[in-house]
Amino acid sequence: MSGAGTLARENPARTDEIVGVVAETPPEAVDVIVREADADQRKWAARALPDRLAVLARAAAAIEDATPGLATLLARESGKVAGDCRGELGFAVRYLRWVVEHAPEAYADRVLDDDLGRIVEQRKPYGVVAAVTPWNAPVILAMLKIAPALAAGNAIVVKPSPLAPLTVSRVVDLVGAPVRVVHGGAETGAALVGHELVRKVAFTGGAAGGRAVAALAGDRLTPSVLELGGNDPAVFLDDAPFTDDAMDRLVMASFATSGQVCMAAKRLYVPSSRLSEFVGAYLAAADRVLVTGDPLADGVTMGPVISGAAQRAALALRDSGTVHDLGLFDGDPASGYFVRPALVVEPDPGSPLVVAEQFAPVVPVLGYSDEESVLAAANAGELGLGASVWSADEERAFAFARRFEAGFTFVNTHNRTGMSLRAPFGGVKRSGWGREYAHEGLAEYVQTCVIHAPAAFRPGAAVTGGGPSAYPAG
């Protein structure tokens, strides 16, 4: 919903309630903000790294103190259950502190001084970073860009999704430092990403947005990191145990945030001989862990989807196979954009539910006959973000996992329970490029600049060679 120059955010669990309103940032205002950020960046980069990290440490403490109120706001604007919102904010704080701890090593000069010469590798900031973030995990996905960008000495301008602008704005205020926020849709995003003073672009979102961002950045020759969608397969080998704990984990790996997670388990593959056993265990797990309702209500584990359009798209996916409604519903389904989560058994393998990213609380399970056929099915398609393999034999699982076409493979789990701050995350194929988390994620926000004195030309050396046909010695 929007008015003249404003964006009003409704509560997807109570669609008659407006949670908050933000002012839209027109393109001419984006220009002013980026230029201010550019001026601030030079002063920020001139500060010593420990000083910059001290600012981030104070920001982590401020966000931690504000988490109860921020979590409620995030639940109201996004429809995520309150516990998930507290968890997301806590994870953002953890990541901030991880960056504070690891940035000194990641951003230190590297010096090599030996018989061949002296090389100094510097890690220098880009300048102004443009970050465009989605609505489904708005705080952590913004923080994955804000924290390393600021630590490295960049300034950053964040454009959150119009579907979740409120909590990110509050978090930006708490961070302070040279980070700014702009609000709006495609026009605002284009003005930011295509600005002449933006030196790096970081985007998380869907394929359509990724193409638009990549095209704009490419036109300016601006480097980018893109984390796009996934259609993650979860493959159960024939020895996988269907324990209560494993099934509980799997159900939430599909239905956390109402299935609206890029790295959710979106396609389940089970040996045909064990399909009936699997379905029984899965339905029992859903009865234990899935309660759909108001995200602020005690005991609720799944809220509404983000919008009316998302609700209609989710309901349209339940068009083939045997559909099992899952868990319990607690509340008024007519009050918001609620969709009863569903497991669809043996749908048409060519249906949109199987071949496309659902981003909805509907998940298919399909039987397979042998490992080669399931590997081919799992690797089919243009997306390659995540995958998982489940087995009682870890070595067998790792051997199978090596053959996935995926940027990140989980073993005996999937989604959030398998993430690690020390493991780089990102996709292959058309699921994007670049990495977040770990030292690879920190490296996305610096440029390596080299100073080199070859041994032959250092003071006191006998100068030899150097003609037009000379090549380096090593």
pLDDT, mean of residues 47-63: 98
Q: How many residues does the chain have?
A: 474
Report pLDDT digits (tens) over 299-316: 999 999 999 999 999 999
pTM: 0.95
Residue 129 has pLDDT above 60, yes or no: yes
pLDDT-derived band of residue 331, with 50, 70 and 90 as boundaries?
Answer: confident
Residue 471 has pLDDT above 80, yes or no: no
Q: Give Cα 325 to chain centroid, integer Å.
A: 28
Judge contact between 379 and 405, C-beta under 8 A: yes
The DSSP call for residue 147 is H
Burial per residue of 355-370, b for 16 or more beta-carbon CB atoms within 10 angstroms, e otherwise: eebbbbbbbbbbbbee
pLDDT number for residue 467? 58
pLDDT number for residue 31? 98
How many alpha carbons fall within 13 Å on the CB side of residue 202?
31
pLDDT, mean of residues 80-88: 97
pLDDT number for residue 474? 64
Residue 264 has pLDDT above 50, yes or no: yes
pLDDT, mean of residues 150-165: 98
Residue 461 has pLDDT above 90, yes or no: no
pLDDT-derived band of residue 239, with 50, 70 and 90 as boundaries?
Answer: very high
Report pLDDT digits (tens) over 181-209: 999 999 999 999 999 999 999 999 999 99
Q: Who wins on pLDDT, 462 or 136? A: 136
Q: Who wins on pLDDT, 171 or 465? A: 171
Sheet order of strands, 155-159 included: 179-181, 155-159, 128-132, 198-204, 224-227, 432-433
pLDDT number for residue 321? 86
Report pLDDT digits (tens) over 384-417: 999 999 999 999 999 999 999 999 999 999 999 9
Mean pLDDT of the chain: 96
Burial per residue of 281-315, b for 16 or more beta-carbon CB atoms within 10 angstroms, e otherwise: bbbebbeebbbbbbbbeeebbbbbbbbeebbebbe
pLDDT number for residue 276? 98
pLDDT number for residue 2? 43
Residue 422 has pLDDT above 80, yes or no: yes
Residue 472 has pLDDT above 90, yes or no: no
pLDDT-derived band of residue 463, with 50, 70 and 90 as boundaries?
Answer: low
Residue 351 has pLDDT above 90, yes or no: yes
343: three-class secondary structure by DSSP: strand
Active site residues: 227
Share of the chain above pLDDT 70, in %: 97
Residue 355 has pLDDT above 80, yes or no: yes
Residue 50 has pLDDT above 80, yes or no: yes
Least confident of 222-231, 233-242, 326-335: 326-335
- What values do phi and psi take at 125, rounded to 5? -70, 160
pLDDT number for residue 9? 97
Share of the chain above pLDDT 90, in %: 94
- In one letter, which amino acid is 397? A
